[in-house]
C-alpha cells in the first residue's frame, strides 16, 4: 500500500462515534508499517517512545502514555496543538499517528549554532505567541481544565511555516471544572522547567505550565539550555543579569547584533514577562491570558519581578 494512502484514501479504519471525542481513526498495522517503510526512518526517541517519519509521524509509546495521549488529544483541536490523526493497537503493539512537522522541534533550532542564527526575533516572537495561544486553549478554552506538565522546546513542533504546535501530552493532567490544583503521585517532568512549588508539594496547577513557558521563552531568547551541565540554571542566570541591570546580556549575540533598537526593546519586555512567569510563588505568576495581553499591548506597564537574586 502506498504511503500516500495513509492520508488520501479510506482504508480499514473505524471512526470514533463518541460525542466526547473529536473524530480520529483506528489504523490497521499493515498500513502503519507501509507508511513508515517498515519502520526504517527513525527520527527520534524520548522517555515515552520511538518516533518514525513518513508523510505523517508515528510514535510507539508505552501503554500508559498511549492511553493518556489518545484520551486527551482526541478531545482537543487547536491550530497550535499537534493533530492526532489516529492510532493502532494490537496485542502488545501500540502506535500513535500524528501530522508530520517538517521542521521538527524547537530545540533543534535554538540549541544548534547554525540553525539558531536562522531565527529572527520576528520568528521567535511568533513562536512564543503561538505557544501561549495553545496553552490558553488547553487551560481555559477547551473545557478540559488541563495542565500539560511538560512544556519545553523539545515538545514544541514547527510546521513548514515555522508555526508552533504543542506536543508531548504524555504527562498531561485533566482536572475537574473549577479545581485550581490537584495532587499527583510523584514529581515528574524535565529538570530546569519544573515548577519549584510543584517540586516542594507535589501539587500541580495551570501555573506549572506558566513557569515552564517562562523558561521556554528564556531559552528561545538566550539560546541557552534551561539546566546546562556545570553551569547555573538559566532562570538564575537571567535573574542575576536583570538584578545587575544587564538584561541585554541574556539576548543571544546574533539577535543583539542584527535586530533594531525597537526589537531589542521588545525582547527585553519579553524577558521581563518571563521573569514574572517564573516567580517562585505560583499565586504571583500571571495567567497565560495576562501574558497574551502584555504581548499585544506594549504600553501596558508590567509589575516588577519579586524574586530577583
> What is the set of active-site residues?
150
- Shortest CA distance to 203 belongs to which of 266, 263, 149? 149
Which residues lie across from 203 on neighbouring strands?
183
What secondary structure letter does DSSP report for 54? S
Q: Are 103 and 112 in contact (CB under 8 A)?
A: no
Question: Radius of gyration of the chain from Cα atoms?
Answer: 20
Residue the block writes with cell 508530520: 100
Residue 61 phi/psi, 5-degree rounding, is -95, 175
Nearest-10 crossing angle of helices 206-222, 121-136: 170
| CB of 88 closer than 8 Å to CB of 49 | no
Amino acid at each position: 500500500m502506498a504511503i500516500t494512502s495513509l492520508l488520501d484514501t479510506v482504508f480499514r479504519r473505524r471512526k470514533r462515534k463518541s460525542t466526547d471525542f473529536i473524530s480520529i481513526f483506528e489504523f490497521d498495522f499493515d498500513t502503519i508499517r507501509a507508511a513508515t517503510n517498515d519502520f526504517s526512518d527513525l527520527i527520534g526517541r524520548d522517555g515515552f517512545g520511538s518516533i518514525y517519519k513518513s508523510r505523517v509521524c508515528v510514535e510507539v509509546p508505552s501503554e500508559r502514555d498511549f492511553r493518556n495521549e489518545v484520551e486527551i488529544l482526541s478531545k482537543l483541536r487547536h491550530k497550535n496543538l499537534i493533530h492526532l490523526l489516529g492510532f493502532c493497537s494490537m496485542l502488545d503493539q501500540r502506535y500513535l499517528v500524528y501530522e508530520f512537522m517538517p521542521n521538527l522541534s524547537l530545540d533543534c533550532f535554538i540549541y544548534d549554532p547554525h540553525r539558531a542564527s536562522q531565527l529572527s526575533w520576528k520568528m521567535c516572537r511568533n513562536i512564543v505567541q503561538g505557544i501561549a495561544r495553545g496553552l490558553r486553549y488547553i487551560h481555559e478554552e477547551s473545557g478540559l481544565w488541563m495542565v500539560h506538565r511538560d512544556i519545553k522546546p523539545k515538545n514544541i513542533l514547527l510546521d513548514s511555516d515555522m508555526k508552533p504546535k504543542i506536543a508531548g501530552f504524555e504527562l498531561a493532567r485533566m482536572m475537574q471544572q473549577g479545581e485550581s490544583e490537584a495532587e499527583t503521585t510523584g514529581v515528574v517532568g524535565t529538570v530546569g522547567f519544573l515548577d519549584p512549588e510543584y517540586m516542594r508539594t507535589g501539587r500541580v496547577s495551570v501555573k506549572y505550565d506558566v513557569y515552564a513557558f517562562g523558561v521556554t521563552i528564556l531559552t528561545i531568547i538566550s539560546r541557552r539550555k534551561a539546566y546546562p551541565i556545570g553551569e547555573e540554571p538559566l532562570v538564575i542566570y537571567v535573574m542575576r543579569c536583570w538584578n545587575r541591570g544587564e538584561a541585554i546580556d541574556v539576548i543571544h549575540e546574533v539577535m543583539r547584533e542584527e535586530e533594531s533598537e525597537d526589537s531589542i526593546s521588545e525582547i527585553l519586555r519579553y524577558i521581563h514577562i518571563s521573569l514574572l512567569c517564573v516567580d517562585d510563588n505560583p499565586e504571583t505568576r500571571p495567567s497565560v491570558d495576562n501574558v497574551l495581553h502584555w504581548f499585544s499591548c506594549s504600553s501596558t506597564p508590567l509589575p516588577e519581578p519579586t524574586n530577583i537574586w
